[in-house]
Structure 1
Amino acid sequence: MTVLDYLSGFGNEHQSEAVAGALPRGQNSPQRAPLGLYAEQHSATAFTEPRAVNRRSWVYRIHPSARHGAFRPLPESPPAHPGWASAPIAAGIADPNRLRWDPRPAPTGPTDFLDGVETVAANGDVLQRRGIGIHLYWATAPMADRYLCNADGEMLIVPQDGALLLRTEFGLLRVEPGEFAVIGRGVRFAADPAGANHSAQAPQAPHAPQSKGYVCENYGQPFTLPELGPIGANGLAHARHFHYPVAAYEDLEREVTLVQRFGGQLWETTLDHSPLDVVAWHGNHGAYKYDLADFAIMGSLNVDHPDPSIFTVLTSPSGIPGQANVDFAAFPPRWVTAEHSFRPPHFHRNVMTEFMGLVRGVHDSKAEGFVPGGASLHNMWAAHGPDRETFDLASHAELAPQYLAGSLPFMFETRLPLTVTAAAHAAAHRQPDYDHSWSGLARQFPRD
């Protein structure tokens, strides 16, 4: 196996080959791809979009991806998947109340990533290519001889407990808690608990690995780095810290299933080979990962609590400048040094909608109730902020420099309200008394 480039750097042109000579050199190459491979282009943006945002990759594969039979709805259809919903959610609930969930219970039997996806909420319209879906996943078994392709949107995957091995057309990515990965729209892949044997014939160990976490399915414009504005050239996420996979292929010739997400439904077809048979590739569309420990955190050095926008790692823009289809913001361990200021997030109501998740540790505005693997949703204009215990402690805390250690909350912030699925709204692990978090905030203003 050879690697032409060390593949890191967000959005740049990359190249990689798993076999020497598989990647054509220059424009004087023969009319056929090297080594008997098939050349194929993946265009993730319209052909005439500006060069700065154009995304496409060339792949050189053993079998052309066009070689397949008709797709047919999964046997469960309709709905195509009992747990995976897309916007608009016909039976969903647009709820103005503040909602919070405990961690989703583990599945009762072996469950692969695809079957382990369960939707919490969505907005927009998947057919109009706007909005997002927010899901939780459990993976306790590998996707043995089964592969997924999401034509509806790219998938930002945040493991919370247990690493995930992503086998993609472009190579392998091992994603640990504290990292996240993005699978580009239309990329074929499989997701396995790291360490699992993905052969259908191989038995699993008695204590097989498992992984659980969060997924943001982005129907809209692809994720990109936010503009830095007055921050300048440095800060937040640096392009060089995004890692693309090295080319690796599966030369597997037996019957497998390819599942495609299209129009909010799941369809499947049968192949006689693995769809992950790309021997070489070059371009800027595919899959990548990022370690949130590399995030260069900005903050206030004197007064005031900064807005969460300075924690934006990636953004999917909308047609309205500054109103993102979705922002992905993360809050890694950091120093807090503001003086004469209430340091936790203040009480607030926003036109934007906030979905929070927690990889580890605690959230700095919640004393209890929000635990790793859990989630909260504050739809647009829902009043929220610190609970009573946090407010009391923060109001009287000594304002010495403080290091917030060991925590990793994150947020999907979106311009549209989120509609919650009926299943998530009625789930036994949704906390019915979340409003109680603020019930102890008694009047302090003196009476006449």
Structure 2
Amino acid sequence: MNELKYLNGFDSEFQSEDPRRPNSLPKGQNSPQKCPYGLYAEQLSGSAFTAPRTENKRTWFYRIRPSVGHFPFKKFLKGNVTHDWNEQDPDPNQMRWNPFDFPKDQIDFVEGLNTVCGAGDPKMKSGLAIHVYICNVSMGNRAFYNSDGDFLIVPQSGVLFITTEFGKMEVGPNEIAVIQQGMRFKIDVNEPSRGYILEVFGQHFILPDLGPIGANGLANPRDFQTPVALYEDIDVDNYEIIAKYQGKLFICHQNHSPFDVVAWHGNYVPYKYNLENFMVINSVSFDHCDPSIFTVLSCQSEKKGTAIADFVIFPPRWSVQEHTFRPPYYHRNCMSEFMGLILGQYEAKKGGFLPGGATLHSIMTPHGPDFKCFSEASEEALKPTRIAEGTQAFMFESCYGLAVTKWGLKTCEKLDLDYYKCWQGLKKNFNPI
């Protein structure tokens, strides 16, 4: 496994070359008439050519063969990826899924992609999709890329060994990886693996503004890591390339590994982050802060301060508020909230919300702590308390109204139809005297 280097800022320029081929990066220009070692120059653009400099994303590859050398694409008929948000009638109910089953047959990462919910249209470069992956074998001579948007991958069980055109990353539970639009990658596993994916169409994730917090806090740029170059020079009869394009999967083949990049430079890169590095900020006087203080990454809409998607975590932390009901407050929201649990027990739903499962609380559908949590938190001694120890829950939050797929409602057979019962014990405590 090659070492990663720190990503010191999302607008930084990076460069890397495989140490086995020193001086493989051209000097002084991006596309010389003849590249070192007989390599080809190829640019991967993550933004329009004319995007402002602060938003312009691109990387130059210096590779053994250009990626255009493949045979025609055909439909790939495996997996459960869809962006047909009208295949089921809308359902405003609170939803909870029990842990998604590991596959019984041999299923790799792409075949094990299952769309749970989403909204918008990748053709219009606006919207998002939420998937779960469940797999138990490596991809082998198969690579994948997403034409529709970025993947934010959240492993829940099992380590992912990710090979990209930029190099390798090893990403396990309590870490995340972001593979941006168009980047080719494959995933190897050594055990049954499961996790969640937040996909955003046509936009990229950024660090949230800190405002009055100041210069430091939440996820620090220096803790994000990106690979260094490590090329493969492999000729094979049939290397499969799978593309996600306009919500469908397509497959073609070529006669060599796509991971043949000897050197690269640019600011459009895959990256990983360890959630243990998140600097938690919270109230130290009274009341419960809004969950936006736990935002790791954000994908902003055109409306200022409103996210197509936020990635929010609820890590171990101290709770010290006085005269305060400390768990999350009951609320209705103009955002959609999809939650997952990586490990431990979520404080507001202990026992019912399990690692590898999920919940969805749709726009303006009320939700909050269950009866047991409310009863205990209403009577507990308000001393400084360490909460969420050994736990990592997260939330994908969006301004879009999310439609649940047929797979999410029926096929997976994991929807908990008794979820509503966890609030039925909340009784009338009103005392007018």
Q: What TM-score results when the alignment is normalised by the length of structure 2?
A: 0.95
Q: Is the 8 A contact 1:132 1:220 kept in 2?
A: no
Instruction: Decide which of 414, 417, 424 is 2:401's aligned counterpart.
Output: 417
**RMSD of aligned C-alpha atoms?**
1.7
Q: Secondary structure at the match of 1:386?
A: coil
Structure 1 position 178 matched with structure 2 position 174: yes
Q: Distance in 1 between the 2:31 and 2:288 partners?
A: 58
Runs of 4+ in 1 over 3 A off after TM superposition: 27-30
Q: CA deviation at 1:30?
A: 5.0
- The change in CA–CA distance for 1:214 and 1:10 in structure 2 (over 3 A counts) is farther
Q: Is the 8 A contact 1:98 1:382 kept in 2?
A: yes
Aligned position for 1:90? 86
Alpha-carbon displacement from aligned partner over 1:133-185 (angstroms, at most 9, x marks no partner): 11111120000111101101110100001110111000100001000000010
Structure 1 position 237 matched with structure 2 position 219: yes
Q: CA deviation at 1:367?
A: 2.6
Q: Distance in 1 between the 2:90 and 2:229 partners?
A: 43
Which amino acid in the other structure matches residue 418 of structure 2?
A: D
- The change in CA–CA distance for 1:360 and 1:232 in structure 2 (over 3 A counts) is same
Structure 1 position 35 matched with structure 2 position 37: yes
Q: CA deviation at 1:92?
A: 3.0
Q: Is the 8 A contact 1:131 1:325 kept in 2?
A: yes
Alpha-carbon displacement from aligned partner over 1:204-226 (angstroms, at most 9, x marks no partner): xxxxx222110111114100101
Aligned position for 1:155? 151
Structure 1 position 356 matched with structure 2 position 339: yes
Q: Is the 8 A contact 2:121 2:127 kept in 1?
A: yes
Q: Is the 8 A contact 1:180 1:289 kept in 2?
A: yes
Q: Is the 8 A contact 1:220 1:325 kept in 2?
A: no
- The change in CA–CA distance for 1:403 and 1:279 in structure 2 (over 3 A counts) is same
- The change in CA–CA distance for 1:108 and 1:30 in structure 2 (over 3 A counts) is closer
Q: Which runs of 5+ in 2 are unaligned?
A: none
Instruction: Decide which of 139, 142, 146 is 1:146's aligned counterpart.
Output: 142
- The change in CA–CA distance for 1:7 and 1:241 in structure 2 (over 3 A counts) is closer
Q: CA deviation at 1:429?
A: 1.5
Q: Distance in 2 between the 1:310 and 1:396 partners?
A: 26
Q: Distance in 1 between the 2:203 and 2:154 partners?
A: 19
In the TM superposition, 1:47-446 aligns within 5 A as 47-74=49-76, 76=77, 81-86=78-83, 88-193=84-189, 196=190, 209-254=191-236, 255-404=238-387, 405-426=389-410, 427-446=412-431
Q: Distance in 2 between the 1:250 and 1:82 partners?
A: 27
Q: Is the 8 A contact 1:380 1:417 kept in 2?
A: yes
Q: CA deviation at 1:423?
A: 2.1
- The change in CA–CA distance for 1:30 and 1:82 in structure 2 (over 3 A counts) is closer
Structure 1 position 15 matched with structure 2 position 15: yes
Q: CA deviation at 1:250?
A: 1.5
Q: Distance in 1 between the 2:150 and 2:36 partners?
A: 30
- The change in CA–CA distance for 1:216 and 1:225 in structure 2 (over 3 A counts) is same
Q: Distance in 2 between the 1:383 and 1:28 partners?
A: 54
Alpha-carbon displacement from aligned partner over 1:262-306 (angstroms, at most 9, x marks no partner): 011111111000111111111111210000011111100111101
Which amino acid in the other structure matches residue 147 of structure 1?
A: A
Alpha-carbon displacement from aligned partner over 1:86-141 (angstroms, at most 9, x marks no partner): 2x423034211000000111111111000111111011112111111111111200
Alignment: residue pair count? 427
Q: Secondary structure at the match of 1:424?
A: helix
Q: CA deviation at 1:399?
A: 0.9
Q: Which runs of 5+ in 1 are unaligned?
A: 197-208
Q: CA deviation at 1:29?
A: 8.7
Q: What TM-score results when the alignment is normalised by the length of structure 1?
A: 0.92
Larger mean CA deviation between 26-35 and 142-151 belongs to: 26-35
Q: Is the 8 A contact 1:326 1:414 kept in 2?
A: yes
Q: Distance in 2 between the 1:355 and 1:93 partners?
A: 19
Q: Distance in 1 between the 2:51 and 2:30 partners?
A: 27
Q: Distance in 2 between the 1:350 and 1:423 partners?
A: 25
Q: Secondary structure at the match of 2:145?
A: strand
Q: CA deviation at 1:25?
A: 2.3
Q: Distance in 1 between the 2:415 and 2:226 partners?
A: 37
What is the percentage of aligned positions where both structures have the same residue? 45
Q: Secondary structure at the match of 2:256?
A: coil
Q: Distance in 2 between the 1:107 and 1:375 partners?
A: 18
Q: CA deviation at 1:187?
A: 0.4
Q: CA deviation at 1:82?
A: 4.7
Q: Is the 8 A contact 2:81 2:249 kept in 1?
A: no
Q: Distance in 2 between the 1:106 and 1:30 partners?
A: 49
Q: CA deviation at 1:69?
A: 2.1
- The change in CA–CA distance for 1:246 and 1:260 in structure 2 (over 3 A counts) is same
